[in-house]
Structure 1
Amino acid sequence: MGNLTERQRGLTMAFIGIMVLMPDTILFRLIDTNLWTLMIWRAGFQGAVLWVALILLRGRKLPEDVRTLGWPGAGFALAMGVAAVCFNLAIAWTTVANTLFILAAMPLWAALLSWLMMGERIDLRMGLTIMAAMIGIGILVTGNDEGGVAHWSGDLAALGGSFTMAAGFSLARFAPGRSMVPALAGSTFVPVAFGIAMGGLALPLQGDMGFLFVMGAIIAPLSFALISSAPRYIPSTEVSLIMLLETALAPILVWWIVGEDPGPRAILGGVIVVAALLVSNLVGLRRIRA
């Protein structure tokens, strides 16, 4: 990327990050190992990669990095760990489409939390976006998919994951200028501990270990590194626009490859959510450039 402008570099990093992340939900559907064992191994691989990378890059400075994060870092780790648990539950208990469309509303919950925690004003654009997204989510959670996969428990788990992820990013704003990667590595202990508590401490079924390694050791760390680094070069609003690609395309790929039909109400609700976020982010990006 040496010959690219900053904008081209940021767009390229965000796009590659989303493309790397895209197969994640498909692999979930291809794995037969039980949910709790899957949760342990996926998070375990991710945590191992992150901790090894941190040790190699930071060395003796790592304990000080962790200490200086303080309570915002601890809160971030807990929130993101709970979000990871919720994501696993959502994928297992409802459709991929419902999960991703509900998770896409995370920036809206972050805006609400910023208003509650930091007194930041919610402008008309964000207020209208929140209302439209809530209508879309309401439509999709009341629908039925063709395969009977969708269930209110999974939709609720996705909503919990969206909210706790927003809480994590809101807490990270109390530690400006500090890398939250050590806290993210620490967050992987939550799904591992939860999976063990639920009796999932076992080897995956034959043939699933490779999928779990790809999900945890490659997809999760690499996509996070690229997507989280892109805002250094382009506005975060532009990164959010590119991230909508995964929200829109992943359910289609799962439908095509696995045959998981989300149903007409989920599609309608998802279109409303994605359209609301798309329009809102385009307006926000136009204001930034102006």
Structure 2
Amino acid sequence: MSNRAKGLGIAVLAVLVLMPDTILFRLIRSDEWVLMFWRAGFQGLSLWVALILWRGARLADDLRGLGRHGWGFAVAMGIAACCFTLAISWTTVANTLFIVATTPLWAAILSWLWMGERASRRTVWTIAVALVGIGVIAVSRDAGGVAHWSGDLAALGGAIGMAIGFTLARRAQGQSMVPALALATVLPIGLGALMGGAAMPLEGDLPILFLIGGVIAPVSFALLSTAPRYVPSPEVSLILLLETTFAPLLVWWIIGEHPGQGALIGGAIVISALLVSNIAGLRRAH
């Protein structure tokens, strides 16, 4: 198998693992703080066990060597995790995923501000068009009354938090951020506990929470971290758009959560902007 085929296969597998995530979120009946606490708890447990088995005694040195970029990454990704959980609880799945899909655009802005990397004309136009799409999503209403501006704002906070984390990871010059990602789970666990989420979930929710936090999150992260070793990151981003596009439709079909016409139009604007931009970037790279 060629490296390209291997990388594309890993990225597609990551999307397939990640796809049921939002559907499972909608099956949980416990409140958002219980969801936040247990999801992060199971994710943290999986990551720490994996790190201890993988790094052993060297893990302490890894944590000490994180530096300010690593600790900043942990805080940013912890905030992003809190925002994503609140977004998925306070607005529609479609709104959440469409807005979170703009993460690379915010990362481009931060790279320009912090690292002096001048944004290309293509990136500027992509950001402008995507902001139009987000605006359409923000003012739209869904048939079930699930969408709310607070959830949309939380989704935007999650996108910006991840963008900050990715930018800091780049500034860390190739240093592994997996220990920092494990540390990031402390923030949602703490906030969830502070808001009363440390209680036992409702009956039937615990296995779903374990599947989301203990299996889907760490496995999909491991696959998405591996794929760019074999294919360019823009190609991985293109494949990730499959999850952004089809997950809201699956939730609509299986759960019956209609995203609303406005969200579909705004999402189509965002996805189209990202799709055209990534394809143009790939053609230019080749």
Q: TM-score, normalized by length of structure 1? A: 0.98
Equivalent residue runs for 1:57-72 within 5 Å: 57-72=54-69
Counterpart of 1:174 in structure 2 is 171
Match of residue 145 from structure 1: 142
Amino acid at match of 2:213: G
Residue 125 (structure 2) pairs with residue 128 (structure 1): yes
2-structure distance, mates of 1:131, 1:247: 19
Query: 1:284 — aligned with what?
Result: 281
Amino acid at match of 2:263: A
Residue 234 of structure 2 corresponds to 237
Three-state SS of the structure 2 residue aligned to 1:238 is: helix
Equivalent residue for 2:188, pick from 191, 203, 209: 191
Deviations along 1:243-280, one digit per CA (max 9) or x if unpaired, are 00010000000000110001111000000000000000
The amino acid of 1:173's aligned partner reads R
Q: 1:150-188: CA deviations, max 9, x gaps?
A: 000000000000001100000111211211000000000
Q: 1:29 is matched with which residue: 7, 26, 30? A: 26
Structure 2 residue runs of 5 or longer lacking an equivalent are none
Once the 2 structures are TM-superposed, how far is the Cα of residue 38 of structure 1 from its aligned partner?
A: 1.2
Distance 1:125 1:238 in 2: 17
Gaps of 5+ in 1: none
SS of structure 2 residue aligned to 1:231? helix
Q: How many residues align?
A: 286
Please state how far the C-alpha of 1:147 moved relative to its aligned partner: 0.1
Q: Aligned-pair distance for 1:5?
A: 1.1
Q: What secondary structure does 1:32 align onto?
A: coil
Distance 2:33 2:140 in 1: 27
The aligned counterpart of 1:214 is 211
Are residue 269 (structure 1) and residue 273 (structure 2) matched? no
Verify: 1:157 aligned to 2:182, yes or no. no
Tell me, in whole angstroms, the C-alpha distance in 1 between the residues paired with 2:176 and 2:120: 29
Counterparts of residues 51-62 of structure 1 (less than 5 Å): 51-62=48-59
- Give the equivalent residue in structure 1 for 2:82: 85
Report the secondary structure of 2:172's partner residue: coil
Give the whole-Å Cα distance in 1 for the aligned partners of 2:234 and 2:93.
Answer: 24
Name the counterpart of 1:246. Answer: 243
Q: For residue 103 of structure 1, what is the amino acid of its counterpart?
A: V
Task: Tell me, in whole angstroms, the C-alpha distance in 2 between the residues paired with 1:177 and 1:155.
Answer: 32
Paired residue for 2:223?
Answer: 226
Partner of 1:101: 98
**Residues 1:50 and 2:47 are matched in the alignment:** yes
Within 1, Cα distance between the matches of 2:33 and 2:153? 18
Partner of 2:12: 15
Measure, in 1, the Cα distance between the counterparts of 2:64 and 2:231. 30
Q: TM-score, normalised by structure 2?
A: 0.99
The answer on 1:256 being equivalent to 2:253 is yes
C-alpha offsets along residues 2-60 of structure 1, whole Å, 9 cap, x if unaligned?
xx211111101111001100111111100001111111111100000000000001001
Aligned-pair distance for 1:199? Answer: 1.2
For 1:177 and 1:256, how far apart are their aligned partners in 2? Answer: 41
Which amino acid counterpart does residue 30 of structure 1 have in structure 2? L
Paired residue for 2:70, among 64, 70, 73? 73
The share of aligned pairs that are identical, in percent, is 63
Structure 2 CA distance, aligned partners of 1:260 and 1:244? 20
RMSD (Å) for aligned C-alpha atoms: 0.6
Structure 1: 4+ residue segments shifted above 2 A: none
Which amino acid in 2 is paired with 1:165? M
Cα deviation code 1:195-214 (max 9, x no counterpart): 01111111111111110010
